[in-house]
C-alpha cells in the first residue's frame, strides 16, 4: 500500500493549506482513478529531550533508590516499566467485557502530558516513600 505523509495548517476559515502541495499533487496523479483514504490528526509538541533527560537523570533514579531501599534490586528500566504501568497505562478489552491495564510508551506523550505524568509520580513518591522529587529546572522543560 502506497502512503504519503504531509503536514499543513487549517486556517480559521477551515481551509487546509498543505505544505509541499506540488509533491502531493504529483503523488495523487500516480493513482488517478483509484480510491483513497485520507486521515488527519493534529500535531502536538512531543515530549522534549530535556524533559526526557530530567526523567531519566532525576525521577527514575530517585524512585529506583526508594524502591531498592527495602532490599530490592531493580534497575532503571524496571523502575521505568513500573512507573509506566502505574501512571501511563490504558485499559484494553481482552474479551467478554474483561479489561487489562496496558502500559503505554512515554515517548508518545506530548510536553503537557509528560509533565502530568511526572506530577503523578511526584505525588505518589511523596505519599508512599516520603520522597520529594524536585521540580524540573526551566532548562529541562523549555527547550
Domain ranges of the chain: 1-43, 49-141
d(CA 141, CA 110): 12
User: For 15-40, how does the pLDDT look when each residue is reduced to its tens digit (9 = 90+)?
Assistant: 988 888 888 888 889 999 999 888 88
Residue 50 in contact with residue 141, Cβ under 8 Å? Answer: yes
User: For 72-96, how does the pLDDT look when each residue is reduced to its tens digit (9 = 90+)?
Assistant: 999 999 999 999 999 999 999 998 8
Q: What is the pLDDT of residue 90?
A: 93
Question: Which segments of the chain are extended strands (E)?
Answer: 8-10, 16-18, 89-95, 98-103
Q: What is the pLDDT of residue 18?
A: 87
∠ Cα 88 106 90 (to 5°): 30
Q: What is the pLDDT of residue 23?
A: 86
Q: What is the pLDDT of residue 9?
A: 86
Q: What is the pLDDT of residue 20?
A: 83
Q: What is the pLDDT of residue 8?
A: 85
Residue 138, pLDDT > 70, answer no
User: For 96-111, how does the pLDDT look when each residue is reduced to its tens digit (9 = 90+)?
Assistant: 889 999 999 999 999 9
Does pTM surpass 0.85?
no
By percentage, how much of the chain surpasses pLDDT 90?
64
Alpha carbon distances (Å) from 61 to 18, 56, 113, 133, 135: 44, 7, 21, 10, 14
Q: What is the pLDDT of residue 7?
A: 83
Closest C-alpha to 18, from 31, 29, 4:
4
**Phi and psi angles of residue 87, each rounded to the nearest 5 degrees, phi first:** -125, 0
d(CA 95, CA 92): 9
Amino acid at each position: 500500500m502506497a502512503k504519503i505523509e504531509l503536514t499543513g495548517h487549517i486556517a480559521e476559515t477551515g481551509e487546509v493549506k498543505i505544505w509541499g502541495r506540488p509533491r502531493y499533487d504529483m503523488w495523487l496523479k500516480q493513482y488517478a482513478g483509484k480510491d483513497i483514504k485520507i486521515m488527519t490528526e493534529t500535531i502536538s509538541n512531543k515530549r522534549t529531550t530535556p524533559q526526557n533527560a530530567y526523567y531519566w537523570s532525576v525521577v527514575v533514579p530517585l524512585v529506583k533508590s526508594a524502591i531498592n531501599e527495602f532490599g530490592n534490586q531493580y534497575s532503571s528500566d524496571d523502575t521505568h516499566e513500573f512507573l509506566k504501568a502505574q501512571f501511563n497505562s490504558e485499559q484494553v478489552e481482552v474479551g467478554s467485557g474483561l479489561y487489562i491495564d496496558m502500559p503505554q510508551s512515554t515517548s508518545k506523550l506530548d510536553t503537557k502530558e509528560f509533565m502530568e505524568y511526572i506530577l503523578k509520580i511526584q505525588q505518589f513518591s511523596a505519599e508512599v516513600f516520603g520522597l520529594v522529587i524536585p521540580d524540573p529546572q526551566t532548562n529541562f522543560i523549555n527547550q
